[in-house]
Amino acid sequence: MIEGFLIVDKPEGITSADVVRVVKRVLRVKKVGYIGTLDPIATGVLPVGMGRATRLFPFLEKQDKTYDAVMTLGVETDTQDKTGAHLAAADPSAVTEEMVKEAMTAFTGDIMQVPPMYSAKKIDGERLYGLARRGITVEREANPARVSEMRFISKDGPNVRFITTVSTGCYVRTLCHDIGNKLGVYGHLSALIRVKAGHFTIEESIPLAKIEEGGVDAANEKLLSLSNGLGNLSRAVVIAHAEDRIRNGMPIGVSDIVKYDDIPGAPFVRVENKTGDLICVGIKRGLPLAGFPFTNIQPKKVMF
């Protein structure tokens, strides 16, 4: 059975759940999930986990994402993107590149953002998009978000292309809406490509159409193992005896480790055996010892 991670390049016009259905059907895998929903108008990086890979999602979900976006000035829509009904319009012809760049600075760094009505966020147990589809608008509290990058690329008439890196839960279409309002001419998202999700990049992705055409053979060419999918974590290779300790939920010490690759700031460690199989994900504990930045590793997610 095929197992591991595929970085799917999602096409426009389908949902993230549609991608899962295609992968299940074509690759004949029962357990499939994805990390980080992409709206139907968006394309690009959609990490998909198969088999035991879905158990590793908690170590991958809350990572920054980078987008290549196009904002169209002059029109406000109810969905904040090009798929929505027009609510208001203004002439954006007087807006210059410098004005756009200046407006963008207000939405860089730590910001507060009101989630759009057409979103999966829940209020009183119901998703906002469910209320929106029934014509109901409710008050939403602004949530903290971080925009670590907001880079202007070009302006062609009302269309502004930019690159942005945002925290989990930050809506790029809301950035477009809010920037348009700050400029006084409205705005909405008209194109979106996710080029990076955490450590997963568009360069390592596989188009969904290629999976449909090539099946398992095409998927295997791009398949990441359970351990390689956790490239955001430190890595420890351990002796055979350590597997028994991990199987029993016991910590492993530095004497059990034959190779260690540290990622500073990562609290978790992916623990492999000598053949590269993922044994567990563990937590670093204790003070530095014998050249390691910890005393031992306590298993958190065992993969047996």
Which residues are marked as active site? 39
Instruction: Please state whether beta strands 252-253 and 296-302 pair in parallel, antiparallel, or not at all (unpaired).
Output: antiparallel
Q: For the chain, what percentages of helix, strand and coil (3-state, to nearest 5) are there? A: 25, 40, 35
H helix or E strand, kind and range, residue 181: helix 172-183
Identify any residues that bridge with 75 across adjacent strands, giving them in sequence order. Answer: 89
φ, ψ at 149 (rounded to 5°): -145, 135
Helix (H, G, I), strand (E, B) or coil at 12: coil
CA–CA separation, 208 vs 38, rounded Å? Answer: 14
